[in-house]
Amino acid sequence: MLNLENILTNNNVKPTAMRLLVLQFLLNKKSATSLTDVENYFDKSDRTTIYRTLKTFVEKGISHKIDDGTGITKYALCEENCHCEIDNDLHLHFHCTNCNETICVTDYKIPKITLSRGYIAENINLVVKGICDTCNKN
Amino acid sequence: MLNLENILTNNNVKPTAMRLLVLQFLLNKKSATSLTDVENYFDKSDRTTIYRTLKTFVEKGISHKIDDGTGITKYALCEENCHCEIDNDLHLHFHCTNCNETICVTDYKIPKITLSRGYIAENINLVVKGICDTCNKN
DNA sequence: AAATTAATGCACTTCCGTTGCATACTTCAA
DNA sequence: TTGAAGTATGCAACGGAAGTGCATTAATTT
Ligand SMILES: [Mn+2]
Ligand SMILES: [Mn+2]
Ligand SMILES: [Zn+2]
Ligand SMILES: [Zn+2]
């Protein structure tokens, strides 16, 4: 049911070899992943293919894009029943300035924000920078 | 008291011609400004000089850097008594996806965020994307 | 099998931030 | 006032990352 292929097909993405490998990689990684991360992980890989793979994953709701303020776009798999595209269902992202990892804090839901009259909020991005628990121990 | 030169000298920045011009420009603009914005405004200008001018302004606490998620770094003058460098005194930024302007919502202070044990928050970035009031009228 | 569509790989471009280095301008002390 | 040291500027170039064009290959459909 929840095997790799099904994740793809359930989201209308054809399960090609590369897509399965990238998905596998994203599943194993607990933190957010950059295009270069994926590229480096595979010995023989083409940057463009991975780029388009990640892009497809985002478009089809398999993963979401994260702007953690480092200037490097990160990607992370969506949870089940995630509504990344739909407003106000987004979570906080934490970026550790020590180990440089970015993680999804999915249990921290972004609170509703009231703006001045006339402003319409469509999307909210909340990033906290600091030291993660792992780095904190050392 | 609050003329251009004093703003610079009060922050230990020597008031050179270019710096005064850039400061003037930032003062007149109500929205956040990119390096390219400043560059284009002046007929004859050097990108590097402006880059370093803006960098100096940030370092000396005259302006703050904004990452609005567009991938283009923006700058805006700090308010009086702004503690941008010191944690948790930051405000929300609004980016209009229609006119592409980013503004400081200085009266919206970012609330304190409680993270899991072990995590230390040093900096918080909150960006709301949507439609601004001006664009909303049209 | 032929034709159509989708995915991949390679080369190349663009954009932005950033740095190196040579020149010009200030400041200050001898 | 002259020279030296420090600071600011201008030009050129680099590097990383996102993104595009296009030819090739693989998968689907008829
Ligand atoms: Mn996330
Ligand atoms: Mn601001
Ligand atoms: Zn860490
Ligand atoms: Zn607008």
Q: What is the pLDDT of residues B3-15, one digit of tens each?
A: 899 999 999 999 9
The structural domain count of chain A equals 1
In the prediction, which pLDDT does B1 show?
53
- Whether B112 and chain A come into contact, CB under 8 Å, resolves to no
What pLDDT score was predicted for residue B82? Answer: 78
Residue A21 belongs to a domain with what CATH number?
A: 1.10.10.10
Question: Å between B18 CA and D2 C1'?
Answer: 29
Of the candidates B77, B55, B76, the residue with the CA atom closest to the CA atom of residue B67: B76
B-chain residues within 8 Å CB-CB of A91? none
> By residue range, what is the domain housing residue B22?
4-137
Per-residue confidence (pLDDT) for residue B35, from 0 to 100:
98
pLDDT mean across residues, chain B: 92
Question: What confidence category does residue B53 fall into, taking pLDDT thresholds of 50, 70 and 90?
Answer: very high
Residue in this structure with the two tokens 């090609």, named with its chain if needed: A16
Contact A130 B113 (CB under 8 A): no
Give the nucleotide with minimal C1' distance to the Cα of A20: C7
Burial class (CB in 10 A: 0-12, 13-18, 19+), A80: exposed
Predicted confidence band of residue B86 (pLDDT cuts 50, 70, 90): low
User: What is the pTM for the complete model shown?
Assistant: 0.91
pLDDT(B93) > 70: yes
CA B18 → C1' D7, Å? 14
How far is the C-alpha of B41 from the C-alpha of B33, rounded, in Å?
A: 11
DSSP state of A88: T
Instruction: Find the radius of gyration of the CA atoms of chain A.
Output: 16
Q: How far is the CA of B52 from the C1' of D3 (A)?
A: 29
Task: Report chain B's C-alpha Rg in angstroms.
Answer: 16
The candidate with the shortest Cα–Cα distance to B33, out of B17, B53, B6, is B53
- Per-run averaged pLDDT (10 residues), chain A, 138 residues: 87 96 95 96 93 97 94 92 67 94 92 92 93 92
The H or E element spanning position A4 is helix A4-10
Strand C–CB B47 distance below 7 A: yes
Average of pLDDT values for B43-52? 94
Interface contact A122-B136, CB threshold 8 A? no
- Answer whether B91 touches A (CB < 8 Å): no
Under the banding of pLDDT at 50, 70 and 90, the label for residue B30 is confident
Q: Are strands B91-96 and B120-131 parallel, antiparallel or unpaired?
A: parallel
How far is Cα B102 from Cα B33, in angstroms, rounded to an integer?
8
| CB spacing of A125 vs B126 below 8 angstroms | yes
